[in-house]
Amino acid sequence: MKTIIITKKSDYTWLRDIFPGLHPLLIPLCNKPFIEYLIDFSILVGSSGLRIISDGVISDVENFCEHGSQWGVEISYANILPSESLSKVLEKNSRFCSGERIMIISGLLFIHYNKRSDYRSFFASLPPGEIFGCSNGNLSLTGVPSELGKQETPPLLSPVVLDCIGQYYELSNEILHHRLADYVLPGYSNEAECFIGRNVVLQKSVTVIKPIIIGNNVQIFTGSVIGPGAIIGSNVIVDRESTVSESIVMDNTFIGEQLEVDKKIAAGNLLIDPESGYSLTMEDPHLLSGIKSKGISGSPFQRVTHGLTAAWMIMLLLLPYLLLKPFLKLSGCWKTEKIVYHSMKHGKKISLNRVSIEKQSILASIAVFLSLDRFTWLFWVLNGHLAIIGCSPVSVSQGIQIINNNTAGYRPGVFSYSEAEDWPQNTFDSDIVDHYYAVHSNLIKDIFLTQKALFNRIHHEDKI
Amino acid sequence: MTITEKNINNFAIISLQGILNASSAPKLKSHFEQSPEGVSVVIDLEKVEFIDSSGLGVLVGIARKKKASSAVLKLANLNDRVKKVFEITQAYTLFDIYDDVTAAAIE
């Protein structure tokens, strides 16, 4: 038996709006990533191999699961196109499937199971076809069933499709209140209904009311009340005299002092009411905020060098900019358009002037030669929103389709790698080049490619 | 880079071995320029040790040409290193990718 898990971007659009940057297979359910439940279940079913297939980015899942040695099962990965049918997916993965019985879990489908039950013989005896199916997910089998070890009573098997935030909250609550014993959950548990992770500090007079689950590196300050029904993720701080009950606090969240969080989901500075689906973004960092994790904007030395280069270019180009811009603007060669782009800083947006200069005069040619159209962008490098060289910035209206903000590939720059490599701009090919270098770049490559980009821009077409 | 070619089910199976970068990409490009345009192709990437943006660019160019001549380009046997580059650049959205050459060489 082998297992194929198929998730398509269309299955989890609701989730991306709420938790941008978090892959749906990694969303925590009682502090255990969703994919781990699926892996555990496929092992109980008797799978020797597991293939995770998606039409989106799965590098985060790959980094988490690696080749499956942690679970003693071989895990591999494959990409598909959004429009491909199940038969096409199986055809494309025919080497993996060759002659084996395959269990296919499609969509964001959670399957309630019991770690003590025997699913191996039950699944081996089931006929091929759909076991459970609905519009957003299904569980099916291919291959020839075996009559050996057929069970009279089927073991617990109850599927739930995660299709909204309310469903996610309900499922987490159901596991916490009724099914804690069914799964292997993270943390140690000296008594029932209480799981606590590593490096958890509960200060004096903290009240804990079961059932609760607390992740790793959590600090709960004096006088706080945790529970009942609290699921607290890792790297969380609950400040003094706050109450968290019947709520989920996601990883890297700070809960301010004297707050009452009841029947809510807190994720960074976002507070979600799971029942209505409404969310509230807190502007006051003392109430609710995210705890910063390591960024993706390169090494500190690389960032400092980008900043220094930008400062040097600003000093060099300030005078030509002040002299040439008014003249070109008056002559109609200098046209600007204000566009809001996604910043290098996660979740932030920046408003940039996209300048087009028509090379109608010598002065316009000089302005292009000096890249004055990007002059104002250089200031955004100083505060870390842009790099000197990186991807072409993606506008907010365009959405983040190709460049995904949960990948390490988005590092917008004043100049782009595709400009350096002289690829046609605003095409999918240029995105490929941008992504390639955004991940593989280093300081030396950045310096070399910035020079190349500047050189290419001089020799470019009449209009920049 | 070594390029070997054979035929299965009217598909030209091109097996690449070695490094597909800026210096070897022109060799692959010229190999395709010399072959008939209307023939569908499967490129076996199992033994490709490294691929960079130039290598990807050539593959994209070949896919475009094949599409224009109503033929297809399929990729097969991507190893982990190649898969990583396809994942980073999201180039997988442009290709039909199979895990087996024989399965890919079916109309």
For position A298, what pLDDT does the model report? Answer: 61
Report the chain A residue with the minimal C-alpha distance to residue B87.
Answer: A57
Number of domains in chain B: 1
Average pLDDT across chain A, whole number: 85
Residue A385 in domain? yes
Residue A186 in domain? no
**Mean pLDDT, to the nearest integer, of A432-436?**
77
The whole-angstrom separation of Cα A44 and Cα A138 is: 18
Structure tokens of A409?
A: 């590939």
Distance from CA of B83 to the nearest CA of A (A): 8
Residue A171 in domain? no
Give per-residue pLDDT as tens, A145-192. Answer: 876 656 667 777 888 988 889 999 999 999 999 998 899 888 887 788
Residue of A58, A436, A440 to mutate for B, most B C-beta atoms under 10 A: A436
* Contact flag A59-B87 (C-beta cutoff 8 Å): yes
Residue A444 in domain? yes
The whole-angstrom separation of Cα A18 and Cα A149 is: 45
What is the CATH number for A122? Answer: 3.90.550.10
Q: Tell me the residues of A at the B interface, defined by beta carbons under 8 Å apart.
A: 55, 57-59, 62, 77-79, 81, 91-96, 402, 404, 407-409, 421, 423, 428-429, 431-433, 435-437, 439-440
Give per-residue pLDDT as tens, A221-240. Answer: 999 999 899 999 999 999 99
Give per-residue pLDDT as tens, B76-92. Answer: 999 989 998 898 888 88
Range of the domain at B32: 2-104
Q: By mean pLDDT, which of A244-253, A360-369, A384-393, A417-426 is the weakest?
A: A417-426
Residue A174 in domain? no
Q: Give all strands of the β-sheet with A129-134 in edge-to-edge order.
A: A74-79, A49-54, A2-7, A102-107, A137-142, A129-134
What is the CATH number for A283? Answer: 2.160.10.10
Residue located via tokens 């091929």:
A128
Q: Per-residue confidence at A461, pLDDT binned at 50, 70, 90?
A: low
Residue located via tokens 């990807």:
B56
What is the CATH number for B34? Answer: 3.30.750.24
For position A400, what pLDDT does the model report? Answer: 45
Asked whether A90 and A97 are in contact (CB, 8 A), the reply is yes
Residue B68's CB: how many other CB atoms inside 10 A? Answer: 9
Residue A242 in domain? yes
**Mean pLDDT, to the nearest integer, of A331-356?**
84
Range of the domain at A269: 194-290
The whole-angstrom separation of Cα A107 and Cα A84 is: 14
Give percent of chain A with pLDDT exceeding 90.
Answer: 37
Do residues A124 and A221 both lie within one domain? no
Number of domains in chain A: 3
Out of B56, B90, B99, name the one closest to residue A94 (CB): B99
Report the chain B residue with the minimal C-alpha distance to residue A83.
Answer: B93
Asked whether A260 and A242 are in contact (CB, 8 A), the reply is yes
Distance from CA of B100 to the nearest CA of A (A): 6
* Contact flag A94-B98 (C-beta cutoff 8 Å): yes
Out of B83, B87, B97, name the one closest to residue A92 (CB): B97
Q: Per-residue confidence at A462, pLDDT binned at 50, 70, 90?
A: very low
Could you tell me the CA-to-CA distances from A359 to A47, A375, A377, A425 in Å, in that order?
Answer: 64, 17, 21, 18
**Mean pLDDT, to the nearest integer, of A47-69?**
91
| pLDDT for A293 beyond 60 | no
Out of B85, B91, B99, name the one closest to residue A78 (CB): B99
Of B30, B45, B35, B31, the residue nearest B81 (C-alpha): B45
Q: Per-residue confidence at A369, pLDDT binned at 50, 70, 90?
A: confident
